[in-house]
Amino acid sequence: MCGIVGYIGNNESVPVLLEGLSKLEYRGYDSAGIAVMTNEGMKVRKFKGRLKNLEEGIKHENMVSSIGIGHTRWATHGEPSDVNAHPHTNINASIAVIHNGIIENYMEIKEYLIEKGIEFKSETDTEVIAHLVDEYYEGNLLEAVNKAVDRMEGAYAIAVIAKDSPDEMVAVRKDSPLIVGLGEGENFIASDIPALLKYTRDVLLIENEETVHLTKDKVVIYDDLGREVNRDIFKVTWDVEAAEKDGYEHFTIKEIHEQPKGVKETLLRRLDKDNNINLDGIKLTKEDLDGINKVYIVACGTAYHAGLIGKYAIEKFANIPVEADIASEFRYRDPFIDEHTLFIAVSQSGETLDTLASLREAKRKGARIMSVVNVVGSSVARESDDVFYTWAGIEIGVASTKAYTTQLVAMYLIALRMAEESGKMTHEEVSKVIEELKTFPEKLEKILENKDFIQKFADSQFNNERIVFMGRGLDVSVAHESSLKLKEISYINSFSIAAGELKHGTIALIEEGTLILALATQQKLFDKMLSNIKEVKARGAHVVSIAKEGDTAVEKVSDEVIYIPETMDELTPILSVVPMQLFAYYVSLARGNDVDKPRNLAKSVTVE
């Protein structure tokens, strides 16, 4: 959430800022703005709504400038409005600030500044930063920002420019993502790599509690003690075209179609010709595993749902007890963690603040930290002992799709490696599962070929406000993810349940016309699931079941059936979730929603 872009150099800043912000739209936002230094002084322009409002608002203005900052805001303090949009300035607009995150003690600072006669224009926590920097500014911008930061508590990435320091920019990172792009006679800052790919592939990854001082010819990084830090250049190797729609109407449907490739890449990059699993150099010996008495898988949202499948896989294959937990709750319950704990963080962006905070708490208590992430060089990855990268490629759609299925592959590979190394499964048994996984790219393609049927089904149900997802066993976790997808992009208040819980209250909600998406892929629970379907049918529900090819008995109790290819029960989530992703996409489309940028949501959640 919130996108940050900054430019200082020999070229025009405004086109760079607008281009960078356009590449950060996927993060989710409700307003956009820029601040640039011109010969006429600081010019700040900001508008509620989409980036196009900003572009339209400034297209006839003379904003010649070689230094500037830009921002897309996701509201936390104060409603979305022109006034609350970033950048924010001090009273005479000589200092401009953009900010991603939350200043937790902003009210204390605000009261201090009000006592000194400062009048605030906005409802935001960010505005206090501009006034606080002004309070300390005596000609040295770096010093002023450092003094302001010393008084600030919370999570933030900020960038500051000043009228009286026209040749420099200062940025600070604390718990929110920040990178620097390097050019010739120009330098950049941003929240994420896509914002800079048009201009540079040389990136500096800024660590937590570091300050960056930029001029057009030099970048200096300081640690929290004010010491200069040497940082290796990170070379971006993936193509900018990966962030384009490539002929698809939306990023979301493009990324759904990219899942066969993502699954294949995530799987085959870790296997040799004999199906030996290489976890990116992660060392997990029998001795290591014997020393682990507890595994925590901690994540948020879709990644948490992947963690639920990971819990099942590790317990099933490796026979190690696992607890899956929501990151926003994990660190507040003083979990039992010591040096015998393996903590697995799952995050698409690698910047999810709740997950990062939980990781740090587990590390403080002595746990070994493993992460499953999609973004190389992200905060979660850099702060982990071991990293397993999913090979989903860049994901732009706010509602995660291909990141989820590649996370599932990652969890299966980790579980299988644990199982073989600990002696719980033979190599032959592991190889049998691997061989089945190798068929999944083709099986996913087969499901995607059936999208027209799913679209017709979605078009017939897009106005139905009573939708329930249910399943048993592994299907429950897929039901949770399926319901979340629908909520995220269609805004339908659906919910998901374990089908066996119907009689314990939920069945009271089932009435004529209620749409039930019944996942029935688990063979040992198949008969029980048929009974649950009959229960809701008897109360007037319209039932669409998701089952494996060959399980035709489900047709007798369902109104419609969506079949997925036959596979092992343990592996069905990778396949069964795809029809549900398509359903959510087509329902959202039919309802006229912004599929890629759903309301109130952000791609990377960097605040609590």
| Active site residue ranges | 2, 603
CA angle 227, 228, 231 (to 5 degrees): 135
What's the chain's Rg over C-alpha atoms?
Answer: 25
Query: Which alpha helices (DSSP H) does 318-387 contain, by range?
Result: 327-330, 353-364, 379-382
In whole angstroms, how far apart are CA 582 and each of 98, 125, 254? 37, 39, 11
Sign of CA dihedral 432, 437, 439, 443: positive
What residues contact residue 62 under an 8 Å CB cut-off, 6+ apart? 38
Q: Cα-flanking dihedrals φ and ψ of residue 603, to 5°?
A: -70, -45
Query: Which alpha helices (DSSP H) does 172-231 contain, by range?
Result: none
What the block records as the tokens of 88 is 């924010």
What the block records as the tokens of 558 is 């369902």
**Burial class of residue 336 (count of CB atoms within 10 Å of its CB; 0-12, 13-18, 19+):** exposed
d(CA 105, CA 151): 9
Contact (CB, 8 A) for 50 and 58: no
Does a cis peptide bond (omega within 30 degrees of 0) precede residue 87?
A: yes
**Three-class secondary structure of residue 600 per DSSP:** coil
Q: What are the strands, taking DSSP E only, across 22-153?
A: 31-38, 41-48, 67-73, 88-89, 95-103
